[in-house]
Chains A and B, each alone.
Chain A
Amino acid sequence: GAVVSQHPSRVICKSGTSVKIECRSLDFQATTMFWYRQFPKQSLMLMATSNEGSKATYEQGVEKDKFLINHASLTLSTLTVTSAHPEDSSFYICSARDPQGYGYTFGSGTRLTVV
């Protein structure tokens, strides 16, 4: 199946700083990517749908000015957590539809810790 690469796998940042997470489709083009957040012992919560060349679509309750999404090319989407606070500490995961028909493929996730 298709592969989605996500970086970094772990990041620790100071409160008030910004962090960028990258999600790349390695062997296919993804016009749409999805960003999820997962808190400990909880399920994945969809944050936003990233669309190549246009604005992302955010789920209800997700602050678009805090979680900036850029999908500037067919193989790269980025999520920037701006002015991070400890409550933003979470596991962030990106995803894209596998063009070979094997459902959706997910990145390995980014563990963000804000201190």
Chain B
Amino acid sequence: DAKTTQPNSMESNEEEPVHLPCNHSTISGTDYIHWYRQLPSQGPEYVIHGLTSNVNNRMASLAIAEDRKSSTLILHRATLRDAAVYYCIHRRGGSNYKLTFGKGTLLTVNP
């Protein structure tokens, strides 16, 4: 199974940027990099995904290293509602391929 490495936990202050790192050294050329987050007692929520180029959406930005062996999820201004477990996953290309979750990073946001 595809494996990613993330810090167990990170802490941030409200309204400050947060950079969540992820290593995926075994990624193959057709694997997409996905990020999801999960609040307590809820299903995961899609955040962003990309293949090679950096990606931006209304929730976050995804910076992908040139060799694709690592990526960084950037929350530009953390809010208390961003406190969650963030999962970085690399998924084989093609429709309906399964997602395999690692342990993720627990993000704490301080007021």
Query: Which A residues are within 8 Å of any B CB, using their own CB?
Result: 1, 6, 31-32, 34, 36, 43-46, 49, 91, 93, 95, 97-98, 102-109, 111
Contact = CB atoms under 8 A, between A and B. Distances in A.
A103 B102 CA distance: 17
B99 A104 contact: yes
A78 B95 CA distance: 21
A32 B96 contact: yes
Interface residues of B, number: 21
Nearest to A110: B43
Interface string B34-49: 1010100111111011
B87 A43 contact: yes
B98 A46 contact: yes
30 contacts: A1-B46, A6-B43, A31-B96, A36-B101, A43-B87, A43-B101, A44-B38, A44-B44, A46-B98, A46-B99, A46-B100, A91-B41, A93-B44, A95-B43, A95-B44, A95-B99, A97-B96, A98-B46, A102-B46, A103-B34, A103-B36, A103-B48, A104-B36, A104-B46, A106-B43, A108-B42, A109-B41, A109-B42, A109-B43, A111-B41
Contacts of B44: 44, 93, 95, 106
Given A43-B87, A46-B99, 18 more contacts: A31-B96, A36-B101, A43-B101, A43-B102, A44-B44, A46-B100, A46-B101, A93-B43, A95-B99, A98-B46, A102-B46, A103-B34, A103-B46, A104-B46, A104-B99, A105-B46, A106-B36, A106-B45
Given A6-B43, A108-B42, A43 B99 contact: no
Interface of B: 34, 36, 38, 41-46, 48-49, 87, 95-96, 98-104
A93 B96 CA distance: 16
